[in-house]
Amino acid sequence: MQGVTEETPFGPDTLVYKVMGKVFALTPLDTESFSCNLKCDPERALELREQYDWIQPGYHMNKKHWNTVTSPVGSSDTLIKELTNHSYDLVKSSLPRKLQAELAQLPN
């Protein structure tokens, strides 16, 4: 994704993905099962939590704007990719115009 960096600002056990310095995804590195926190539109977040028992309010995050996704084995990677892209797009659209212009100039 354009303008994305991977960092570990909270220590070696949590990988944080940022677009132009703003967090859009976090995932623990010290677990055997998949889990991540993704930003989400508040209304959609509620719908997803009602529809999937493996999508919960964001752990250690603002529960209105973040979901924790703990995808069970055999679940659709397509939905997780869609939710990751949604998170990226939300954060990207909230960037100041100057950073959005810088991002547009970066290679894909």
Rounded CA-CA distance 47/51 in Å is: 6
DSSP 8-state class, residue 58: P
Within-domain flag for 90:
yes
CB atoms within 10 A of CB 37: 24
Q: What is the pLDDT of residue 7?
A: 97
Residue type at 27? T
Within-domain flag for 105:
no
What is the domain extent for residue 61? 4-97
- The verdict on pTM exceeding 0.85 is yes
Q: What is the pLDDT of residue 47?
A: 97
Q: What is the pLDDT of residue 75?
A: 67
Within-domain flag for 102:
no
Mean pLDDT of the region 79-92: 96
- Total domains in the fold of the chain: 1
CATH number at residue 14: 3.90.1150.30
Within-domain flag for 58:
yes
Return the structure tokens found at 76: 């659709």
Within-domain flag for 26:
yes
